[in-house]
């Protein structure tokens, strides 16, 4: 109950009550931040991707005017315009819209994942995943952790081996899924492109083995130039050096790509790798430092023969979606 002092006038009491109510409203507003309806975000993403209100309306089975109202509600909630019409009446994103688009996709993916997890029937079983060790080291840990969180009854058995060995295991039916270098898929098996990027020469941050002549190389695989058991990246490195007329020697070989990092860290050799997965102490060789350009590379996800079980399908879909959300699918990293 609101009590007043005995000597306070009516006008003073009224003013006091107004101030108190304003403070209550302010505190209440602070404790309840504005929220965004996922349906508004979904309409926005569809419009942003298709650059059309009409196509977005068709996809969500609404009228164009209804979708337009959704965008107005979204902009009212955010307090900023997210779309505008440019030349030729084309739909364009504002700077705020560009900022929102990336985050809207993430919010919707999380929303859909939560809903699917609770509505979908429980999936249980084991899925056998093969991967080169550098992919396992640089890319898979957060992907597998997220999958385990949403599929606690699924056991993922991971085998790390070069792509050539994984291809043989796929043929023998020993793997359900495998991450391979693009172009090494077994005949009759198609892969889904997850990632395409640029190979880089890798040197030490403390030493300069890239300046030595002949150039010492650390390559994966005991027989790195073999067509059957060799390393695709190693062959690409050797071919680039031969075309450039640069002298080299294969100083170190390893059964894994990660194993080539040790001599590079010590300043004894250079290797080739994906720039995104370099540990501390290694860096990419800069173009002006004189080594020839290397080709693009790709990572593909390949299903084994008879890998139609639900657990394999679930993990494959999760890996593909993780790459898409990470912005890497089908483009350079």
Which residues of the chain does CATH 3.40.190.290 include? 124-333
**Right CATH for 38-119 from 1.10.10.10, 1.10.1040.10, 3.20.20.70, 3.40.309.10:** 1.10.10.10
pLDDT per position as a tens digit, 124-169: 889 999 998 877 776 788 889 888 888 888 999 999 888 888 888 9
Give residue 175's pLDDT.
93
More confident residue, 17 or 306: 306
For 192, phi then psi, to 5°, come to -95, 120
Pairing relation of β-strands 125-131 and 91-93? Answer: unpaired
Q: Top-level CATH class of 124-333?
A: alpha beta
> Can you tell me the mean pLDDT for 60-67?
82
Which residues of the chain does CATH 1.10.10.10 include? 38-119
pTM exceeding 0.95: no
pLDDT per position as a tens digit, 304-320: 876 568 899 999 999 99
Cα→Cα distances 108→50, 151, 168, 228, 313, Å: 17, 19, 39, 44, 21
């Amino acid at each position: 109950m609101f009590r007043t002092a005995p000597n306070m006038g009516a006008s003073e009491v009224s003013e006091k009550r107004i101030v108190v109510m304003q403070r209550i409203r302010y505190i209440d507003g602070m404790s309840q931040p504005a929220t965004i309806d996922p349906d508004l975000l979904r309409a926005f993403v569809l419009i942003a991707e298709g650059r059309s209100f009409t196509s977005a309306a068709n996809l969500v089975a609404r009228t164009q005017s209804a979708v337009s109202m959704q965008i107005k509600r979204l902009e009212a909630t955010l307090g900023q315009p997210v779309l505008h019409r440019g030349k030729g009446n084309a739909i364009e994103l504002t700077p705020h819209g560009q900022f929102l688009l990336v985050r809207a996709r993430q919010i919707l993916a999380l929303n859909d994942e939560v809903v699917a997890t609770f509505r979908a029937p429980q999936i249980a079983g084991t899925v056998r995943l093969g991967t080169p060790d550098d992919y396992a080291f640089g890319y898979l840990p957060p992907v597998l952790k997220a999958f385990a969180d949403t599929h606690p009854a699924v056991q993922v058995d991971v085998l790390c081996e070069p792509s050539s060995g994984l291809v043989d295991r796929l043929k023998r039916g020993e793997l359900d899924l495998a991450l391979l270098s693009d172009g090494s898929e077994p005949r009759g098996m198609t892969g889904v492109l997850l990632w395409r990027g640029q190979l880089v020469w890798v040197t030490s941050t403390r030493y300069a083995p890239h300046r030595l002549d002949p150039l010492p190389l650390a390559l994966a695989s005991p027989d790195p130039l073999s067509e059957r058991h060799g390393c695709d990246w190693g062959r690409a490195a050797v071919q680039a050096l031969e075309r450039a007329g640069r002298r080299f020697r294969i100083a170190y070989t390893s059964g894994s790509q990660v194993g080539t990092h040790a001599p590079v860290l010590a300043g004894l050799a250079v290797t080739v790798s994906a720039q995104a997965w370099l540990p501390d102490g290694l860096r990419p060789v800069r173009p002006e430092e004189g080594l020839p350009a290397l080709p693009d590379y790709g990572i593909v996800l390949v299903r084994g023969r008879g890998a139609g079980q639900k657990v394999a399908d679930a993990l494959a879909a999760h890996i593909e979606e993780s790459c898409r959300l990470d912005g890497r699918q089908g483009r350079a990293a």
